[in-house]
Amino acid sequence: MPMPKGYKKETGYGSSKSLGGMSYHQIAEKMNNQNYKMNHSTARNVFVNGLIKIADNITKIHGHNFDHKKLKSIAIDPRFQEAISEYMKEIEYDRSHSNNK
């Protein structure tokens, strides 16, 4: 499915650099080493599917009931990805600090 016109200009890409992690190729390689057979496309699909589930849960908590297409558009939005990434890092930080105390 082509990206909507002007989408990239408005939102940019959710790159591995902006998210602070690995590229899909690197992820696929690492997963293969752990006996999860996949290529970079599969890695991306699994990543997006995971985020769709997160988006679904969060939107349901807030009283929305979006269809799959809408959820996918949220999941692939780099702003959503970056926000989830930031929150996950904060959660990890909070946990590591509470474990140290």
Interacting residues with other proteins (CB under 8 A): 16, 19-22, 24, 26-27, 30-31, 34, 36, 43, 46-47, 49-51, 53-54, 57-58, 61, 84-85, 87-92, 94-95
Nearer to other proteins, 5 or 80 (CB): 80
- Spell out the SS3 assignment of 5-44: CCHHHHHCCCCHHHHCCCCHHHHHHHHHHCCCCCCHHHHH
Least distance (Å) from other proteins to the CB of residue 68?
A: 15
Least distance (Å) from other proteins to the CB of residue 65?
A: 16
- Calpha distance 9→78 (Å, rounded): 12
Nearer to other proteins, 73 or 85 (CB): 85
Give the closest residue to 19 by CA, choosing from 99, 92, 84. Answer: 84
Nearer to other proteins, 7 or 46 (CB): 46
